[in-house]
Amino acid sequence: MLRQNLLDQLKHFIETVSNGHSCPQLLTSPNLIKLALGFLEELPATRDIVFEYFALLAEISVQLYVSPEMADPKTGMPVSQVKQAGNRQQQQRAPEYEAFNLVKTALQSLVWKGPPAWSPLIANWSLELVAKLSDKYTQRRMTITASCNYWLECSAMHGLMTLINSCFRKLTQPEEEACVEIMLNAFHRFPMTFDWIVARLGGCFPYKIIMQILQCGIKRFVDDYRCHLDSEAGILDYMTSCHEQHLRAAFREMLREGFAPKKPLDVAVVPFLLITTNYSDTILQSLVNVLVEIYTEDMCEVIVQKSPLWLSNKMFAGMQPTLNNAVLRLNERGATLLLTAGKMAEKYVWCQDFLDNSMQELEQWVLNQRNFPLLADLAYEETKYMLWKSCLSTNLFEQQTAVRLLLVVSSQHPNIYYQTISQLLKKSYAQNPNGIGALIRLLGGQSGMVNFPGFTPGFKMVLEDITLDVQVNNRLPVPPGTPTEAFNTFSNLNILARMHKSKNVAPYIKAQHLNQALNECLPKILQIFECTVNKLVLRMDRDAAERIAEKFKAQQSKNNNNNNELCNGKDYGKRTKLEPGEDNVDDEDAIRMRLAHLIVDLLNNIEAGSRTTVLRTPLVLKLATLSVKYFFVGLTEKTVIRRAAASHRSYTLLQRQCSARKIARTVCLRELVERALFYHGHLLGQLEVYQRDELEIPEHEHLILQNLHTSSGANSNRSVLHSGIIGRGLRPVLPPSERNCDAEKQALYLKALNACCADLEKPNNVEGYSLVSLLLVELVSTDVMYNGLPFPDEEFTRVTMERDMLIRRAFINSPVLWAVLGLIAGHRPALCYSSVLLRALCATCLHHWRGKNVNRFQPTAANDELMLCTKKMLQLLAMSQLIPPPLTNLHLIIEHFESAEIALLLRECIWNYLKDHVPSPALFHVDNNGLHWRNTKLAKVPPQYVDPLRHLMQRKLSTLGPHYHQMFIMGELMEGDSEPDPTARLQIVEID
Amino acid sequence: MSMSIDSNKLLLRKGEMKMDNYPTCAVEALTRLETLIASRNKQNMVMQIISEFIFLERTSKDGDVRKSQALPISQMNLFQEFQLIIALIEYFSRPGRDATRNAIFLSLFGSHLTPQRSKLLSRLISTAVSGSVAPLLSSAGTWMQQVGCKTPLSLEVAQNIVSDFISYSRKTPEQLKQLPMVGPHFAANFMVAVADLYLNEQRSQTLNPPPDALLDTITEWMAENPTLCQASQQPLVLPAGAIAMPFTTPLAGLLRWVVLAPLVSNRSAYSNLHLSLLRALQQLVSSGESTALPSQDLMQIVKSLQSYCARLAESKTDPEADAAYQKCMERFAQAVQIALSSNCITNQIQLLCLLESLPPHKLMKIVIEAHKK
């Protein structure tokens, strides 16, 4: 019964289907479909006809999909979700449209769960069906992606593709190959409409498909070189998105054959691949990737050798221009390609042509602000590094290519521009000056670009880096002698600035731009400078302190004469230990010192702090302070020449700022004076004081305790104030011979002061010197009282004696003060403001000479401190015209007098004169040039100030004769023309 | 006579225009054939009618004898094919004489068929199996024997049935399992053909084991129907004057399966099949047929074993140490012993000599020595 039933069903099925072509409703009834599906199991012989029926169902669905009645009235696109979206008529037909889904589900379950024999069967059937339907119902040519989108919207097509995909996963190796075969056959039959299917399904066995497609293409290409390869390229393009690896492998394989042709087809490989690349950017990209990957020098040879083979081929003829814009279409490796071409350009002219064309086009595009894929490549991190490397190449083509590429990318990515500038600045160009060329070209920017980024941020960037580097100071270990990045940067900036100064070099860079940019970076430069100089200053001070400590220790042990050997032994041990470390440190310091020089050079080159640039006050102050610090640091250089060079740098620096801004001058001078007196006096021969002497005193031996002990005993009325410390011997005092003042350094120092004070525009302006003078008063005088100009009664000096002694002490400690005063004295009336210092010197000398009266028989040593001091003071007064002519020579003869006489002279001639003629600017007459001058002829010295001297000299005429003549007779002779003084002459006669 | 042909044709043409209502004209043609087939002289016309009205074949030019030698092309589409299949099944299901039916079947499907006809034949038989159409299967069994069970045509049919019911089927359908009951003759011939398809070194380089489902089915058949192998020995019902072709039993082929199976598989089904085979051989004694196991078939087994031993020698393995080979020989020896004792081996001496040439095996040695005397 059942069997009979089955046959009846079959009969019914056959009748319905064979009559139902005109009536889709009948065909798509679910019962019929279920029946057909049942047959697959129950009546296997009907397999073929059942599948034919399914194909009919699919076709009905596709027919509906493409028919206008199923289109969305608004968009004109097919309605895919008929049930929800369609109108009534469409919804009525929905079951027909969806009928195939039932089949799809059933077949899919067969594929997944059924015996393996089904997979190839269903796969083949579906493939054939899809090919047929797609060919039959494609109305117009579409791109592959469009086709995919269009057809996969159709439920039947989508179902079929799904089926094929599921089948493919179940296939065995030989079955797969058969399927590929079928697919490609279908492709050959319908190349226009089957491509999307190949592309879509190619993903299941990508390599095979890609290789086959390429082979198909090359065959067609060989037959007719003008053929259109759209389909092939389309498929490859589509598949590349997911299977680029396979495409590359295929290319690799083909190129291998192409470069070593064996078959006649191989000759066409290279032209064919080049042609194919014109169709799609992604293919081009893959090919280039492969080429770059396998490229070697040898391969280049092979290409050159084989090129006639391709050139002679007529297919190759019209291809060169297409190659040129190829680079622009690359997403990655474009830069690599161009650089490689650049490397070869020396050897092959065509490379130059290629480069020229490509670069020109590239720059054209940039000018037109068009976007192109290569830009993305250029903006990659790796590319950037590669380009930087190439910028330093000795090969000019390569280098120029790299620079141009960087310029191109810079127009869109300013940050790359800045980074590049920063990088190039950090490199050393000692070996290869090409690099600096690249830098200059780069700074020139892209000609014609409107919004090309400026280079100032680049400078700022590099300076920021260096600041960190200098501040943190934990650089990676580098081989000794390698210039640091900071050094390189500043030396490069210097080169640039210098070039720009000389004006005929580097026409690319607009002159004011560079200067302006660097001046904008001044805060950063100063930060670095500050860091460097401060470290140097610290180091210098520490060295000085150590040196002094050592000296004093030696001195002390010499004084005490104990533990001599032990100490020495210790010392030697220490020194040997320290040496290697010190070497390193010295080296580092030397580097730092050179850096400091470079920075100052740069500052001079860009004329930092000049009047033309606008600076904020803190910056001005900083620059001033640093300039002074640098000057002092410069004094520690090892050789005379270097010291001079460093000093000259700082003079320029100081002079520029001081003449530009008053505040700068104030600060510079204050710093100069203050540092010379208090911080770096040791450089200028300051009396060295051992700071840590007292540290060695144990607590119970402190003076105050000792005083307590002794205050109760027999000696309680005596102080324990000694010149030494009990148990430790005398305070160490360096022998005076070592207290020499370094004349060279002092000269440099004075020049520095002069540079600050001198006014280039008004040479006779003494404002600066006055300032120094006032500063001296402020810094040397310890009291705020009685600092005025007038000299009081000599009696009054008792009040100020303590202060005066201290001032005197300052002069002893810092001999440079004399020199400074000397400088000031030369620029009248600046010294007037230091009246208090002169007064103190004068007063103390007076007192000391008076004190000497007590033991008058003690001879005065020639270079006794008191005598020297007196002489210098007199000299100063004379130089500054504070004392009138006959007295001006006093310093020459003073040593010939006794202490009492000296005391007398000082009191009568100097003190009293000054008391009556207050040393003030009012004494001076200003001439037309603004020069201060005191006409001594008009200011006749009253005799009461001169006579004591005259008398004393007359007593010692034998030794002081010539002086007397010069001082009195000559003067009076000259005056005598108008008003002779007979008494004077008489007295001379008397003495004779 | 020519008149009658023409009149017949005319009748057909008049009655039902073939193109318009296809299956009807085929059915009509079949009934006509019944009468025509009896007379021997009208063979030519029978063929023409079959070609024209049943298979809708058209030679490129009607009447051109030389060109008709070339394969005729059928106009049928798949649906018409199935209409014909249904018609044929219906026709064969009708009560009627077996001889006539067999004659018509043989006329429809001779020994040389166009690919299309052979395809149709395969589908027809497959449908008949699915539908358990006993009469048609019986005719098909006859056809198979007449054509020869190991001819390409029969093998194609067998192969088709295997793929329909085994490869493309999730579980073995009942219809196939019951085939020995429905059409024992066909089943036996089918077994002969199928046995030839697998584990046969003459067909393929390697030994292809049969699909598991097929093996299970056949094992089941053999176990449940011990006499199945003798079904092919039933006399054929043929029209008068026709010569019955010699029958073949599936025993030889299946014996090859079980003997060679250890080399490629260790399924227990083979052991069961072996047992069934041995039983079947034993039963042959009563029937007294001596051609059940042609010695060529057995020699084929020996050859396969020899080549296996050669391969063993290449890999320096002693056949005595090779378990698979030992198992083969054991089964072979048992079968030979029973076959010899039931005297159903042709050319015994030759076989024994050949067996001796194989690497020695204990049981086999005993068997050989026992029968050499």
**Do residue A820 and residue A942 come from a single domain?**
yes
Q: How confident is the model at residue A572 (pLDDT cuts 50, 70, 90)?
A: very low
Residue in chain B lying closest to A113 (CA): B170
d(CA A69, CA A87): 10
Supply the DSSP symbol for A562. Answer: -
Average pLDDT of chain A is 77
Residue B14 has pLDDT above 80, yes or no: no
What is the count of residue pairs from A and B with beta carbons less than 8 Å apart?
Answer: 73
Span A945-973, average pLDDT: 82
**Do residue A748 and residue A773 come from a single domain?**
no
In a domain, B193, yes or no: yes
Task: Report the candidate in A846, A804, A827 with the shortest Cα–Cα distance to residue A757.
Answer: A827
**Do residue A644 and residue A664 come from a single domain?**
yes
Measure CA of the first residue to CA of the last residue in chain B; give whole Å.
Answer: 66
User: Beta strand pairing status for B73-74 and B57-58?
Assistant: antiparallel
Is the ipTM reported for this complex over the cut 0.90?
no
Span A681-706, average pLDDT: 66
A532 touches chain B (CB under 8 A): no
Average pLDDT of chain B is 80
Determine the distance in angstroms separating the CA of A52 from the nearest CA of chain B, rounded to an integer: 8
Q: How confident is the model at residue A75 (pLDDT cuts 50, 70, 90)?
A: low
Task: Report the candidate in B253, B233, B48 with the shortest Cα–Cα distance to residue B141.
Answer: B233
The domain of B123 spans: 109-372
d(CA A852, CA A899): 6
In a domain, B211, yes or no: yes
Contact call for A47 and B130, based on CB within 8 A: no
Residue B270 has pLDDT above 80, yes or no: yes
Of A3, A7, A117, the CB nearest to B163: A117
Residue B67 has pLDDT above 70, yes or no: no
**Measured CA angle at B314 (ends B308, B315), to 5 deg:** 95
Three-state DSSP string of A332-372 = CCHHHHHHHHHHHCCCCHHHHHHHHHHHHHHHHHHHCCCCC
Select, from the ranges A305-309, A339-343, A885-889, B255-259, the one with the highest average predicted confidence (pLDDT).
B255-259
In a domain, A706, yes or no: no
Strand partners, A71: A78
Determine the distance in angstroms separating the CA of B205 from the nearest CA of chain A, rounded to an integer: 17
Q: Which of B19, B90, B169, B176 to mutate to test the interface with A (most CBs of A within 10 A)?
A: B169
Determine the distance in angstroms separating the CA of B192 from the nearest CA of chain A, rounded to an integer: 21
d(CA A91, CA A84): 8
Q: Which residues of B touch A10 (CB under 8 A)?
A: 82, 86, 127
Determine the distance in angstroms separating the CA of A48 from the nearest CA of chain B, rounded to an integer: 8
Do A476 and A435 form a contact (C-beta atoms < 8 A)?
A: no
**Do residue A687 and residue A780 come from a single domain?**
no
**Measured CA angle at A16 (ends A10, A17), to 5 deg:** 90
Residues 7-36 of A with CB under 8 A from B: 7, 10-11, 14, 17-18
Q: Is the dihedral of CA A922, A924, A928, A930 positive or negative?
A: negative
Select, from the ranges A643-647, A899-903, B291-295, the one with the highest average predicted confidence (pLDDT).
A643-647
B66 touches chain A (CB under 8 A): no
Supply the DSSP symbol for A265. Answer: G
pTM (predicted TM-score): 0.60
Q: Say what the pLDDT of residue A233 is.
A: 78
Structural tokens at position B222: 């053999």
Residue A768 has pLDDT above 60, yes or no: yes
In a domain, A172, yes or no: yes
Task: Report the candidate in A925, A818, A846 with the shortest Cα–Cα distance to residue A881.
Answer: A925
Residue B236 has pLDDT above 60, yes or no: yes
d(CA A227, CA A207): 24
Residue A318 has pLDDT above 60, yes or no: no
Contact call for B79 and A46, based on CB within 8 A: no
Contact call for A41 and B131, based on CB within 8 A: no
B330 touches chain A (CB under 8 A): no
**Do residue A747 and residue A792 come from a single domain?**
no
d(CA B255, CA B351): 15
Supply the DSSP symbol for A730. Answer: E
A121 touches chain B (CB under 8 A): yes
Which residue type occupies A815? P
Q: Say what the pLDDT of residue A924 is.
A: 82
Span B5-26, average pLDDT: 57
d(CA A585, CA A16): 104
In a domain, A465, yes or no: no
Higher pLDDT, A821 or A725: A821
Contact call for B83 and A46, based on CB within 8 A: no
Q: How many residues does chain A have?
A: 992
In a domain, A298, yes or no: no
Residue A648 has pLDDT above 60, yes or no: yes
Higher pLDDT, A982 or A168: A168
Q: Which of A171, A188, A204 is the last residue of a domain?
A: A204
Contact call for A43 and B130, based on CB within 8 A: yes
Which residue type occupies A315? M
Residue in chain A lying closest to B129 (CA): A43
In a domain, A575, yes or no: no
Q: Is the dihedral of CA A654, A659, A664, A667 positive or negative?
A: positive
Contact call for A45 and B83, based on CB within 8 A: no
- What digits encode the pLDDT tens for the residues A415-435? 888 888 888 888 777 777 777
Q: What is the CA radius of gyration of chain A?
A: 51
Residue bearing tokens 């092979």: A302
B80 touches chain A (CB under 8 A): yes
Q: Which residues of A touch B175 (CB under 8 A)?
A: 3
**Do residue A50 and residue A110 come from a single domain?**
yes
* CA A864 from centroid of its chain's CA atoms: 58
Could you tell me where the DSSP H helices lie in chain B? 2-15, 22-38, 43-49, 65-69, 78-93, 98-108, 115-131, 134-147, 152-162, 174-177, 179-182, 184-197, 212-224, 251-264, 268-287, 295-314, 323-341, 348-357, 362-372
A4 touches chain B (CB under 8 A): yes
Q: How many domains does chain A have?
A: 3
Residue bearing tokens 């008058």: A856
Supply the DSSP symbol for A267. Answer: G
d(CA B135, CA A225): 66
Of A14, A44, A121, the CB nearest to B86: A14
Of B82, B132, B170, the CB nearest to A3: B132
Task: Report the candidate in A390, A396, A456 with the shortest Cα–Cα distance to residue A422.
Answer: A456
**Do residue A12 and residue A135 come from a single domain?**
yes
Q: How many domains does chain B have?
A: 1
Residue in chain B lying closest to A21 (CA): B79
B167 touches chain A (CB under 8 A): yes
- What digits encode the pLDDT tens for the residues A589-618? 788 888 888 888 888 888 887 888 888 888
Q: How confident is the model at residue A138 (pLDDT cuts 50, 70, 90)?
A: confident
Q: How confident is the model at residue A991 (pLDDT cuts 50, 70, 90)?
A: very low
Q: Say what the pLDDT of residue A296 is.
A: 81
Residue A290 has pLDDT above 80, yes or no: yes
Span A283-293, average pLDDT: 82
Of B79, B86, B167, the CB nearest to A7: B86
Q: Which residues of A touch B173 (CB under 8 A)?
A: 41-42
CA distances from A692 to A150, A548, A679 (A): 94, 10, 16
What DSSP string describes A126-155?
HHHHHHHHHHHH--S---HHHHHHHHHTSH
Do B153 and B147 form a contact (C-beta atoms < 8 A)?
A: yes
In a domain, B22, yes or no: no
A113 touches chain B (CB under 8 A): yes
d(CA A90, CA A68): 11
The mean-pLDDT minimum among A24-38, A226-240, A526-540 falls in A226-240
d(CA A632, CA A117): 96
Q: Which helix (H) or strand (E) holds A426?
A: helix A414-426
Higher pLDDT, B281 or A72: B281
Q: Which residues of B touch A20 (CB under 8 A)?
A: none
Q: How confident is the model at residue B16 (pLDDT cuts 50, 70, 90)?
A: very low
**Do residue A776 and residue A679 come from a single domain?**
no
Q: Say what the pLDDT of residue A578 is.
A: 39
Q: Say what the pLDDT of residue A741 is.
A: 59
**Do residue A799 and residue A825 come from a single domain?**
yes
Residue in chain B lying closest to A44 (CA): B164
A118 touches chain B (CB under 8 A): yes
Do A592 and A536 form a contact (C-beta atoms < 8 A)?
A: yes
In a domain, A985, yes or no: yes
Supply the DSSP symbol for A78. Answer: B
Task: Express as a percent the part of chain A with pLDDT over 70.
Answer: 81
Residue A976: CB atoms within 10 Å: 15
Interaxial angle between packed helices B295-314 and B323-341, expressed in degrees from 0 to 180 and rounded to the nearest 10: 160
Residue B328, φ and ψ in degrees, nearest 5: -55, -50
**Do residue A656 and residue A795 come from a single domain?**
no
In a domain, B234, yes or no: yes
In a domain, A569, yes or no: no
Q: Which residues of B touch A18 (CB under 8 A)?
A: 79-80, 83
A44 touches chain B (CB under 8 A): yes
Span A221-230, average pLDDT: 73
- What digits encode the pLDDT tens for the residues A474-519? 555 656 566 777 888 888 888 888 877 776 555 556 656 777 788 8
In a domain, B353, yes or no: yes
Contact call for B86 and A113, based on CB within 8 A: no
In a domain, A848, yes or no: yes
- What digits encode the pLDDT tens for the residues A715-765? 555 444 445 555 566 555 555 545 555 788 888 888 888 888 887 777 777
Contact call for A45 and B127, based on CB within 8 A: yes
The domain of A38 spans: 1-204
- What digits encode the pLDDT tens for the residues B32-43? 787 777 776 777
In a domain, B38, yes or no: no
Structural tokens at position A316: 């190759």
d(CA A254, CA A271): 12
Residue B267: CB atoms within 10 Å: 16
B126 touches chain A (CB under 8 A): yes
Q: Which of A761, A792, A807 is the last residue of a domain?
A: A761
**Do residue A748 and residue A666 come from a single domain?**
yes
Q: Say what the pLDDT of residue A70 is.
A: 64
A721 touches chain B (CB under 8 A): no
Q: Say what the pLDDT of residue A690 is.
A: 58
Contact call for B127 and A46, based on CB within 8 A: yes
